[in-house]
């Protein structure tokens, strides 16, 4: 059986929370201005860590969430960010009632798991920590936010490491294509957690300097956080997800195959499912974490399929928000198409000779992008790519 043609999935509305701000307008302005959303970590101690900074949502999340639902003031940061993004998406499509919810995350409610561990390790009574532990489940932040809107659709949590957000949007499209769902609320979230911060530090993947995606002198990633939520449904009008590719690279649990085979396979699948030639792509929003291995692998993949297409990674502005990154960057792609610009690749100083990409360096570039590839890659060899489109008419 040949794959069914990929009917476009309409992006009816979306909401976004990132280190560039809360809401679409703040994010579009931040992208266009090339704003630096990286700041010293204030959520937990980072003494002795390689990196001392992260992309943090600096707005008062509790107060903003409280304005939507008073009971949310004491929710986890992850749940508050999901609520804010969900509310913005709902406002853009007020009559949208999802029959399925698909969200990506990597660390879920990890801060609550940390709290439970520390309580046990200290020999303290654990009943209160146990009650809070219900929020450790990665479904909980999503379910908490859904209750505010009286939505009772089933929730599927996709956890494909740093590709989770892109996979969640792709799976939402597959559910619509297969007829298993008509309207899907989809996206991703992740809040900064000490566990994850220490993890990337242990791998020496994080940097003490600035995050410089694709720069010849790049030294590693900076972590981030955020959430983005999309209202998706069948339809051909306006903003759409028109293609999706997902490929597993079994080379190594944490390192991509140096040839770029994984990213290349995901991009090829995405283009094929959108029935597009590579030349039709106006811009690539790269995964571009700023680590030497990741960027080299992705650059090789891009050079094999879209060697002259403008490329940028927005992680120099936002940091790497892991399971939220794919959804946030899909939102950035929509802002770029509607706002007619290409987001900048911050902190770029020098092209690596082996990778002569057309990097949108340091400042946004005026353009009229109509078809964009958005890449996300993660541990476990997870590679995922979306094609996002805005019709030229």
Partner 1 sequence: MKASIIGMGWVTPLGRDLDAVWQAIQDERQPIPVSQSSSFGASLCPVLRVPDEDLVEAEALPRLRRSSRISHLAVTAASDAIASAGLTADQLARTALVFATSDGGIAYTRRFYAEVVKSDSGSPLLFPETVYNAPTSHIAARLGLGGEAITLAGDAASGLAAVRLGGALLTTGEVDHCLIVSAQEMDEITCLAYRNLGLIRAEIGEESPSVYFAEGAAALVLARNGSPLIESPHPGFSYTSEAHAARQMERLLDSILASRRPRVVISGQSGISPDAIEQASLHRLLPDAVLHTPKKTLGESMANSALQHVIAGALALRDHKSGGEVLVPAVGFNGQIAALILTGSVSEE
User: Based on CB atoms, which residue is closest to partner 1, 127 or 353?
Assistant: 127
Using the minimum distance from each CB to partner 1, give the nearer residue, 61 or 181. 181
State which of residues 126, 259, 351, 362 lies at the interface with partner 1 (CB under 8 A). Answer: 126
Distance, CA of 54 to CA of 52 (rounded, Å): 7
Q: Of 78, 79, 98, 70, whose CA–CA distance to 13 is shortest?
A: 98
Give yes or no for residue 296 binding partner 1 (CB under 8 A).
no
Binding to partner 1, residues 165-184 (CB under 8 A):
167, 171, 174-175, 177-181
Pick one of 16, 86, 160, 372: the residue that binds partner 1 (CB under 8 A): 160
CB-CB neighbours of 63 under 10 Å: 10
Task: State which residue, 82 or 157, has the beta carbon closest to partner 1.
Answer: 157
Stated as kind and residue range, the H or E segment containing 194 is helix 194-202
Is 211 an annotated catalytic residue?
no
Q: Give the separation between CA 327 and CA 323, rounded to whole angstroms.
A: 8
Q: Which is nearer to partner 1, 17 or 247 (CB)?
A: 247
Interface of this chain with partner 1, residues 298 to 357, rule: CB under 8 A: none
Of the candidates 162, 211, 231, 333, the residue annotated as catalytic is 162
CB half-sphere exposure, 167, CA atoms < 13 A: 23
Interhelix angle 77-92/61-68, rounded to 10 degrees, is 50
Cα–Cα distance measured from residue 324 to residue 161, given in angstroms and rounded to the nearest whole number: 10
For partner 1, the binding residue among 15, 78, 108, 224 (CB under 8 A) is 108
Asked if residue 201 binds partner 1 (CB under 8 A), the reply is: yes
For the chain, how many residues are written? 393
* Residue from the set 2, 40, 366, 392 that interacts with partner 1 by CB under 8 A: 2
Please report, as residue ranges, which positions from 74 to 103 form the binding site for partner 1 (by CB under 8 A).
Answer: 99-101
- Taking the C-alpha atoms of residue 281 and residue 369, their distance in angstroms, rounded to an integer, is 8
Among 18, 27, 140, 206, contact with partner 1 (rule: CB under 8 A): 140
Using the rule CB under 8 A, is 148 a contact of partner 1?
no
**How many angstroms separate the first and last alpha carbons of the chain?**
34
List the beta bridge partners of residue 14: 230
**Of 95, 253, 392, 393, which lies in the binding site for partner 1, with binding defined by CB under 8 A?**
253
Buried b (16+ CB within 10 A) or exposed e, 295-328: bbbbbbbbbbbbeebbbbbbbbbbbbbbbbbbbb
Q: Does 393 bind partner 1 (CB under 8 A)?
A: no
Q: Which of 173, 306, 320, 334 is catalytic?
A: 320
Residue spans of beta strands (DSSP E) within 110-239: 155-158, 183-190, 226-234
**112 touching partner 1, by CB under 8 A:** no
Nearer to partner 1, 203 or 364 (CB): 203
Range 23-42, binding partner 1 (CB under 8 A): none
User: How, if at all, do strands 226-234 and 9-18 pair?
Assistant: antiparallel
Q: Which of 247, 311 has the CB closer to partner 1?
A: 247
Active site annotation includes 306: no
Which residue of the set 287, 306, 333, 334 is catalytic? 287
The verdict on whether 252 is a catalytic residue reads: no
Which residues are known to be catalytic? 162, 287, 320
């Amino acid at each position: 059986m040949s794959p069914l043609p990929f009917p476009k999935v309409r992006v009816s509305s979306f909401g976004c929370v990132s280190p560039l701000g809360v809401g679409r307008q703040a994010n579009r302005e931040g992208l266009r201005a090339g704003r630096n959303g990286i700041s010293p970590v204030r959520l937990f101690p980072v003494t002795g860590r390689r990196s001392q900074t992260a992309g943090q949502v600096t707005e008062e999340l509790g107060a903003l969430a409280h304005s939507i639902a008073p009971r949310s003031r004491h929710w986890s940061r992850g749940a508050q960010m999901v609520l804010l993004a969900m509310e913005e998406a709902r406002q853009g499509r007020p009559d949208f009632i999802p029959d399925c919810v698909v969200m990506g995350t990597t660390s879920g409610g990890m801060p609550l798991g940390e709290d439970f561990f520390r309580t046990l390790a200290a020999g303290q009574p654990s009943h209160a920590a146990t009650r809070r532990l219900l929020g450790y489940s990665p479904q909980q932040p999503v379910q908490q936010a859904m209750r505010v809107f009286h939505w009772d659709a089933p929730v599927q949590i996709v956890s494909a490491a740093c590709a989770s957000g892109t996979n969640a949007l792709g799976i939402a499209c597959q559910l619509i294509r297969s007829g298993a769902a008509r309207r899907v609320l989809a996206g991703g979230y992740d809040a900064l957690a000490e566990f994850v911060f220490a993890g990337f530090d242990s791998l020496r993947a994080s940097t003490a300097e600035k995050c410089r995606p694709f720069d010849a002198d790049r030294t590693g990633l900076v972590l981030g956080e955020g959430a983005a939520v999309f209202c998706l449904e069948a339809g051909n009008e306006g903003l759409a997800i028109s293609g999706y590719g997902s490929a597993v690279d079994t080379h190594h649990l944490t390192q991509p195959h140096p040839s770029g085979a994984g990213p290349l396979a995901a991009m090829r699948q995405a283009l094929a499912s959108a029935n597009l030639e590579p030349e039709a792509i106006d811009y690539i929003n790269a995964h571009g974490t700023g680590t030497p291995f990741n960027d080299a692998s992705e650059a090789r993949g891009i050079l094999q399929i879209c060697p002259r297409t403008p490329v940028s990674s927005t992680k120099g502005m936002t940091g790497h928000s892991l399971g939220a990154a794919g959804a946030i960057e899909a939102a950035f792609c929509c802002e770029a198409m509607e706002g007619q610009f290409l987001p900048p690749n911050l902190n770029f100083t020098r092209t690596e000779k082996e990778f002569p990409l057309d990097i949108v360096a340091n400042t946004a570039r005026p353009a009229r992008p109509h078809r964009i590839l958005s890449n996300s890659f993660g541990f476990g060899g997870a590679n995922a790519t979306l094609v996002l489109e805005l019709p030229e008419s």
